[in-house]
């Protein structure tokens, strides 16, 4: 009897182990593929010239493969979108977890999460058809397809991520901490600012970083609304071409295993490095500043 | 639209590759990515009518297609330019005698917002705009508004025509906006009174305004009589006078049915 049970136990464990292993294997295979297809470009151009080159003319002869404008565009779009989505997301989370009536919270929460369910192409279309003409007319700028529009659309996409992870973090702050603070005579506001937010800061940071990593990798939205000019932006309303947009626009028709093709994969490697960096930081923050008990505050 | 066809084409090609053993006839087509969507569309229709013929298509660029024609690794080479003299000599040295077929025409027209008073533009003005030398509409007789230049991704066939016929191989300046399809350019131009873009004639609709170039309006007629400056023929080459399945396919290509598909893809048919 015990024999059968332990055997079942073992086989179930092996089954789950192999399932877990499969996703790791897939990740590694994709990584190997990415590097195999991207590295050959560095026979033609040095890594330095690739990353810091200011001109991206992959099909002219002789071609220029400098992705600095694309990298700067990605970073700029992500930072501007973070500046919009962090206050929005975190404040919504605080409101939902601490201030809102249960009834209202139950109404708002699904709506915010629904924002995450909107397909990115729909958000992109909204940005292109509604927001771009609006920006053009309101600010009198030459084109509404620009850095700001893209950042705004991206922040719509990262708000749900930031909000729901932050809310979980705030929600899981031990009640005793809050009650202790209130018992000492602190107001609700003081408790919120001095106790609850510091206690959940690691969770909130993770939320912010994951939200930004979502923004930097997003493709459809930036392809549709960022404008696509491969130049280093000088103002908030300049058109830009982030890395994913460049890859998506050009990959379909780049000659298979040509220099342009390799250069696009190499751009993919750079992008992958960025998202990996974000994830490593998020992981580090979660572990290092984890709220392990009520005493560690 | 072209992109989706491209994906469909790859899938079909893959399926054909894996199952080609069962078929009798086999046609390999290689070359220009501009001609690719036409070749794919017509090949699909052709294979439906001739289920015993398998056609595999790949698009490695015009130069690549002609190179494989010289090396005799393909039955048909697609090209968006005429074969060069050296290439044809190379082919003859290797014992083949390339035969040219014009299968369609490409006609690219500049478009602006419907509120733009401009009607005509010269090739030189277009070039200066896309090089960033003319930046305001008033410089060419329009309103005092900045020009927003919209271009295509550099690997598209549409861009290739533009680069060749308008830019004369010069680079489009980095400030130009990029859109990934003809449809997206129409969309962007129709929403922006400052914009100028270019599209294949087949994608033209009422939401935008077409400009004539050097006084000539882009149309089927001006393309076919070669007076419209931003147009070019698209070619298919065979290594010798074609026979059998290859001949059948090329006949189908220039037949009414084939040319109707050409028109559906946004190109100018021969008749």
- Mean pLDDT for chain A? 89
Q: Which of A136, A229, A253 sits opposite B192 (nearest CB)?
A: A136
Q: Which of B7, B61, B153 sits opposite A249 (nearest CB)?
A: B153
Q: Does B1 touch chain A (CB under 8 A)?
A: no
The separation between CA A68 and the C-alpha centre of its own chain, rounded to angstroms, equals: 20
List of long-range contacts for B119-126, beta carbons under 8 Å, 24+ apart: B119/B211, B119/B212, B120/B211, B120/B212, B120/B213, B120/B214, B120/B215, B121/B211, B121/B212, B121/B213, B122/B213, B122/B214, B123/B165, B123/B166, B123/B213, B123/B214, B123/B229, B123/B230, B126/B166, B126/B213
- Residue A214 · residue A61 · CB < 8 Å: no
Contact flag A142-B64 (C-beta cutoff 8 Å): no
Determine the pLDDT at residue B9. Answer: 53
Residues A107-163 pLDDT 10s: 988 898 888 888 999 999 999 999 999 998 898 888 889 999 999 999 999 999 999
Determine the pLDDT at residue A15. Answer: 93
Residue whose pair of structure tokens reads 């049970």 in the numeric block? A5
Whether residue A26 has pLDDT greater than 90: yes
Residues B199-254 pLDDT 10s: 988 888 899 999 999 999 988 889 888 889 998 889 999 998 888 889 999 999 99
**Average pLDDT rounded to a whole number, residues A252-268:** 84
Closest Cα in chain A, distance from residue B188 (Å): 7
Nearest chain B alpha carbon to A228: B178
In this prediction, what percent of chain B has a pLDDT beyond 70?
A: 91
Identify which of B230, B218, B219, B106 has the alpha carbon closest to the alpha carbon of residue B157. Answer: B106
Residues A170-222 pLDDT 10s: 988 888 888 999 999 989 899 998 888 888 888 899 899 989 988 998 999 99
Contact flag B175-A223 (C-beta cutoff 8 Å): no
Q: Which of A69, A241, A253 sits opposite B156 (nearest CB)?
A: A253
**Average pLDDT rounded to a whole number, residues A286-292:** 70
Closest Cα in chain A, distance from residue B177 (Å): 4
Question: Which of the four pLDDT bands, split at 50, 70 and 90, describes residue A13?
Answer: very high
Measure Cα distances from A28 to A6, A13, A24, A25, A40 in Å. 33, 23, 6, 5, 19
Determine the pLDDT at residue B209. Answer: 93
Residues B171-183 pLDDT 10s: 888 889 988 888 8
In this structure, the number of other CB atoms found within 10 A of the CB of residue B221 comes to 11
- Residue B150 · residue B199 · CB < 8 Å: no
Whether residue A75 has pLDDT greater than 90: yes
Query: Which two structure tokens, joined as six digits, stand for A70?
Result: 């694309």
Question: Which of the four pLDDT bands, split at 50, 70 and 90, describes residue B73?
Answer: confident
Nearest chain B alpha carbon to A70: B174
Determine the pLDDT at residue B23. Answer: 43
| Helix runs in chain A, H state only | 2-38, 47-52, 68-94, 102-117, 120-126, 132-139, 147-171, 175-183, 188-191, 197-199, 201-217, 220-225, 243-251, 259-288
Q: Does B61 touch chain A (CB under 8 A)?
A: yes
Q: Which of A58, A228, A250 sits opposite B177 (nearest CB)?
A: A228
Name every chain B residue with its beta carbon within 8 A of the beta carbon of A62: none
Name every chain B residue with its beta carbon within 8 A of the beta carbon of A60: 154, 163, 169, 171
Residue whose pair of structure tokens reads 């960022």 in the numeric block? A226
- The span from the CA of A89 to the CA of B90, in Å, is 65
Contact flag B64-A255 (C-beta cutoff 8 Å): yes
Whether residue B7 has pLDDT greater than 90: no
Tell me where in chain B the CATH 3.40.190.10 domain(s) lie.
Answer: 12-105+234-264, 106-224
- Mean pLDDT for chain B? 85
Give ipTM to 2 decimals: 0.76
Contact flag B154-A241 (C-beta cutoff 8 Å): no
Name every chain B residue with its beta carbon within 8 A of the beta carbon of A56: 174
Determine the pLDDT at residue B22. Answer: 39
Contact flag B156-A136 (C-beta cutoff 8 Å): no
- The span from the CA of B130 to the CA of B147, in Å, is 10
B148 CB-side CA count, 13 A: 29
Structural domain boundaries of chain A?
Answer: 2-43, 47-296
Contact flag A241-B175 (C-beta cutoff 8 Å): no
Q: Does B184 touch chain A (CB under 8 A)?
A: yes
- Residue A145 · residue A227 · CB < 8 Å: yes
End-to-end alpha-carbon separation of chain B, Å? 24
Q: Does A127 touch chain B (CB under 8 A)?
A: no
Homologous superfamily (CATH) of A47-296 is: MetI-like (1.10.3720.10)
Q: Which of A57, A229, A250 sits opposite B171 (nearest CB)?
A: A57
Query: Which two structure tokens, joined as six digits, stand for A195?
Result: 């106790």
Q: Which CATH number fits domain B12-105+234-264: 3.40.190.10, 3.40.220.10, 2.70.98.90, 3.60.20.30?
A: 3.40.190.10
- The span from the CA of B114 to the CA of B137, in Å, is 14
Q: Tell the CATH topology of B106-224.
A: D-Maltodextrin-Binding Protein; domain 2 (3.40.190)
The separation between CA A87 and the C-alpha centre of its own chain, rounded to angstroms, equals: 15
Residue whose pair of structure tokens reads 């990740």 in the numeric block? A27
Which of A262-271, B63-72, B152-161 has the least mean pLDDT? B152-161
Q: Which of B6, B174, B194 sits opposite A252 (nearest CB)?
A: B6
Tell me: cis bond preceding A62? Omega within 30 of 0 counts: yes
Question: Which of the four pLDDT bands, split at 50, 70 and 90, describes residue A1?
Answer: low
Tell me whether residue A116 is exposed, middle or buried, using C-beta atoms within 10 angstroms of its C-beta: 0 to 12, 13 to 18, 19 or more.
Answer: middle
Determine the pLDDT at residue A34. Answer: 94
What is the 3-class SS of chain B, one letter each residue? Answer: CHHHHHHHHHHHHHHHHHHHHHCCEEEEEEECCCCHHHHHHHHHHHHHHCCCEEEEEECCCHHHHHHHHHCCCCCEEEECCCCCHHHHHHHHHCCCCCEEEEEEEEEEEEEEECCCCCCEECHHHHHHHHCCCCCEHHHHCCCCCECEEEEECCCCHHHHHHHHHCCCCCCCCCCCEEECCHHHHHHHHHCCCCEEEEEEHHHCCCCEEECEECCECCCHHHHHCCCCCCEEEEEEEECCCCCHHHHHHHHHHHCHHHHHHHHHCCCECCC
In this prediction, what percent of chain A has a pLDDT beyond 70?
A: 96
Measure Cα distances from B171 to A29, A279, B132, B167, B176 in Å. 38, 38, 10, 7, 11
Determine the pLDDT at residue A20. Answer: 92
Determine the pLDDT at residue B184. Answer: 87
Tell me whether residue B16 is exposed, middle or buried, using C-beta atoms within 10 angstroms of its C-beta: 0 to 12, 13 to 18, 19 or more.
Answer: middle
Q: Does B114 touch chain A (CB under 8 A)?
A: no
Contact flag A144-B192 (C-beta cutoff 8 Å): yes
């Amino acid at each position: 009897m015990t024999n059968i049970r332990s055997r079942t136990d073992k086989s179930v464990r092996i089954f789950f182990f192999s399932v877990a292993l499969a996703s790791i294997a897939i990740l590694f295979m994709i990584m190997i593929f990415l590097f195999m297809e991207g590295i050959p470009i560095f026979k033609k151009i040095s890594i330095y010239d690739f990353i810091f080159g200011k001109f991206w003319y992959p099909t002219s002869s002789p071609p220029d493969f400098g992705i600095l404008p694309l990298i700067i565009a990605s970073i700029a779009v992500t930072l501007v979108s973070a500046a919009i989505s962090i206050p929005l997301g975190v404040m919504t989370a605080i409101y939902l977890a601490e201030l809102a009536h249960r009834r209202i919270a139950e109404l708002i929460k699904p709506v915010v999460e629904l924002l995450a369910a909107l397909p990115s192409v729909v958000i992109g279309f909204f940005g292109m058809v509604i927001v771009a003409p609006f920006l053009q007319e309101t600010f009198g700028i030459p084109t509404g397809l620009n850095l700001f529009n893209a950042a705004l659309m991206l922040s719509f996409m990262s708000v749900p991520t930031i909000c729901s992870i932050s809310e979980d973090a705030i929600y899981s702050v031990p009640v005793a901490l809050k009650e202790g603070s209130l018992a000492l005579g602190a107001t609700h506001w003081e408790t919120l600012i001095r106790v609850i937010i510091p206690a959940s800061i690691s969770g909130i940071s993770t939320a912010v970083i994951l939200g930004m990593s979502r923004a930097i990798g997003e493709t459809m939205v930036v392809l549709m609304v960022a404008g696509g000019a491969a130049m280093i932006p000088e103002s908030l309303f300049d058109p830009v071409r982030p890395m994913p947009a460049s890859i998506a626009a050009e990959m379909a028709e780049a000659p298979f295993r040509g220099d342009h093709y390799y250069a696009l994969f190499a751009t993919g490697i750079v992008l992958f490095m960025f998202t990996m960096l974000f994830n490593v930081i998020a992981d580090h923050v979660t572990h290092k500043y984890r709220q392990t008990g009520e005493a560690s505050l | 639209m072209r992109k989706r066809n491209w994906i469909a084409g790859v899938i079909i090609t893959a399926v054909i590759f894996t199952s080609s053993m069962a078929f009798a006839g086999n046609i390999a087509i290689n070359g220009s990515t501009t001609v690719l969507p036409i070749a794919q569309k017509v090949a699909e229709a052709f294979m439906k009518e001739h289920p015993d013929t398998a056609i595999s298509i790949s698009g490695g660029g015009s130069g690549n297609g002609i190179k494989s024609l010289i090396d005799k690794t393909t039955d048909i080479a697609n090209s968006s330019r005429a074969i060069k003299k050296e290439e044809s000599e190379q082919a003859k040295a290797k014992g083949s005698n390339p035969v040219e077929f014009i299968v369609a025409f490409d006609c690219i027209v500049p478009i602006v917002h419907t509120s733009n008073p401009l009607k005509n533009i010269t090739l030189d003005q277009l070039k200066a705009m896309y090089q960033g030398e003319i930046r305001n509409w008033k410089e060419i007789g329009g309103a005092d508004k900045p020009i927003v230049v919209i271009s295509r991704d550099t690997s598209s066939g549409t861009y290739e025509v533009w680069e060749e016929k308008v830019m004369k191989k010069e680079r489009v300046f980095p400030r130009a906006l990029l859109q990934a399809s003809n449809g997206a350019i129409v969309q962007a131009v129709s929403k922006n009174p400052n914009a100028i873009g270019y599209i294949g004639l087949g994608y033209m609709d009422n939401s935008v305004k077409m400009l004539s170039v050097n006084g000539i309006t882009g149309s089927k007629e001006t393309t076919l009589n070669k007076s419209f400056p931003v147009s070019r023929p698209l070619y298919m080459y065979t290594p010798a006078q074609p026979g059998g399945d290859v001949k059948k396919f090329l006949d189908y290509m220039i037949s009414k049915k084939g040319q109707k598909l050409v028109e559906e893809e946004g190109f100018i048919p021969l008749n």
